[in-house]
Amino acid sequence: MGTIIHIELTSAAPAATADFYARAFGWESIASPFVPDYLLASTGDGTGIGAAIMSNRYQSQSTILWIEVPDVVAAIDAVTAAGGAAAGEVQDLPDVGRLAYVTDPDGVVIGLKEPR
């Protein structure tokens, strides 16, 4: 079973978008040490999930749902068997885990994360 763990918001101007969410909702953003124009956003205390604001040059869809899975390759296989598709290569990020994008049958991009 996959659990929703993260949301990405894409933007032509990530810093300006981060400023909007800071002013409107109190989010605090910091630059990712791994990816340029990728800001990790703290969405506040409580039971919410984490977010990020990234350049839309990486993905054009405005919002991307991230799901934690125990095995990213097995999850990609399950997505393709269910009628979806892989959308790029599996990425290994140090101290983070294995990441991949897939699409559902309608082309909606979904992120998959296998934690380290």
Q: What is the pLDDT of residues 5-49, one digit of tens each?
A: 899 999 999 999 999 889 987 889 999 998 889 999 988 777 778
* Domain segments of the chain as ranges: 3-115
Measured between alpha carbons, how far is residue 86 from residues 100, 108, 111 in Å? 8, 11, 10
- In terms of CATH architecture, what is 3-115? Roll (3.10)
Q: Model pTM?
A: 0.76
**Short-list 39, 31, 35, 36, CA closest to 7:** 39
* Dihedral pair phi/psi, residue 43, rounded to 5°: -95, 10
Residue at 88: amino acid letter: G
Q: What is the pLDDT of residues 72-105, one digit of tens each?
A: 999 999 999 999 999 999 999 999 999 999 999 8
How far is 71 from 86, CA to CA, in rounded Å? Answer: 14
**Short-list 64, 77, 68, 74, CA closest to 97:** 68
Tokens describing residue 93:
């990020």
